[in-house]
Amino acid sequence: SAQPVTIALSGAGGQIGYAALFRIAAGEICGPDTPVNLRLLEIPQGVGAAEGTALELADCAFPLLNSITIDTDPAVVFEGANLALLVGARPRTAGMERSDLLSANGGIFGPQGRALNDHAADDIRVVVVGNPANTNALIAQRNAPDIPTNRFTALTRLDHNRAVGLLAERSGASVSDISGVTVWGNHSLTQYPDLSHAIVNGVPALDAVDPAWARGEYIERVAKRGGEVIQVRGSSSAASAANAAIDHMHDWINGTGADWTSVSLPSDGSYGVPNGLISSFPVRSTGGSWTIVQGLTVDVFSRERIDASVTELLEEHDAVASLGLLPH
Ligand code: NAI
């Protein structure tokens, strides 16, 4: 078998952690030949839940699960880590201003970025799931000056998978007959699920479904899907978020194949998104690194939608910069 991979997950005692860890321990990120060392990060209140999950992981007798470490110190958890899934974050509570939310999360993702910088393996790859995911990822990245910037990503794969799933439902096609869907921008209500280049059963999506729906109700439905799940289920998306984080890491390492997917990563200026801003793009991987799909036409409608979401990201950037959370 291959060398073991060391996978760190923060927020391990939470609901996404619970939905993700069993699949990760079963080898769903790197595949059936790679043993897994799990490193679980929690705050003191969450350690008990993480320890309980570790008992259940042991009870699964996963052949690939080499070791489990639980700690509250990012320096310990990230030591030698190859992959990090940063799920734990400070949720917005009643009466909390946006600036309070951003600074509370800066207090988490700044130190975690520094600990990754100082302790992770040279090939570290990071996905931030905890919200506000794009800006938390930016904070971590800008506190880790020795790690190549393109190793920091934020999760927009759940939005992408929702966009594909809802298009399949509307068109009657199966998910495997859909390609070319993109989610642009921020993981927030301003995100833009874009069907301009999508194909359904060999036909352009905008011919396969009502284009007024695709550019109206559909966008809102995808963006508000998280709220719909809360309303119906009584708690927020967990298994689908865990699934998306695993898809993201799996495709980053193993490659995407013919179709592209959506990932928030530091912009190289493509499609007019300012350099360094962590925004969602259409991307492919051939195994190991993401490449932004180039040359897609962006019509006036799409331009406005992308710009609106990027404007929100710039506002979040400016807010955390003025709080001193982006030192590098
Ligand atoms: P949860 O509340 O069930 O679990 C969060 C866990 O993180 C808790 O156990 C908590 O103790 C821990 N935690 C908090 N601060 C921490 C820190 N500094 N270090 C380590 N652990 C810490 O929440 P859930 O449902 O698992 O969601 C986690 C995050 O993921 C939330 O911020 C949520 O908004 C976000 N999310 C993002 C999605 C995306 O598509 N990007 C989708 C769904 C959720």
Q: For residue range 83-111, what is the model confidence (pLDDT) as tens digits?
A: 999 999 998 888 888 888 999 999 999 99
Q: Distance, CA 14 to ligand 1 centroid (Å)?
A: 6
Residue 114 and residue 108 in contact, taking contact as beta carbons nearer than 8 Å: no
Give the end-to-end CA distance of the chain in Å, rounded to a whole number.
39
Q: Is the peptide bond before 32 cis (omega within 30 degrees of 0)?
A: no
Is the distance from the beta carbon of residue 45 to the nearest atom of ligand 1 less than 6 Å? yes
Would you state the structure tokens that stand for residue 87, as one six-digit string? 């799920």
State the Cα–Cα distance between residues 84 and 133, nearest whole angstrom.
14
Is the distance from the beta carbon of residue 77 to the nearest atom of ligand 1 less than 6 Å? no
Best residue for ligand 1 mutational test, from 21, 42, 135 (most atoms within 8 Å of Cβ): 42
Ligand 1: nearest atom to the Cα of 91: 32
Q: What's the pLDDT at 95?
A: 85
Best residue for ligand 1 mutational test, from 129, 156, 225, 243 (most atoms within 8 Å of Cβ): 129
How many Cβ atoms sit within 10 Å of the Cβ of residue 66? 15
Residue owning the nearest CA to atom 11 of ligand 1: 46
Quote the distance between the C-alpha of residue 189 and its chain's center: 15
Residue 225 and residue 8 in contact, taking contact as beta carbons nearer than 8 Å: no
ipTM: 0.99
Q: What's the pLDDT at 98?
A: 83
Residue owning the nearest CA to atom 14 of ligand 1: 88
Give every residue of the chain whose pLDDT is below 50, as ranges.
none
Q: Distance, CA 144 to ligand 1 centroid (Å)?
A: 21
- Which of 154, 308, 170 has its CA nearest to residue 181? 170
Task: Kindly report the pTM of this predicted structure.
Answer: 0.98
Q: Which domains does the chain have, with CATH numbers?
A: 5-154 (3.40.50.720), 157-316 (3.90.110.10)
Q: What's the pLDDT at 173?
A: 98
> What residues act catalytically?
187
Q: What's the pLDDT at 2?
A: 86
Residue owning the nearest CA to atom 4 of ligand 1: 14
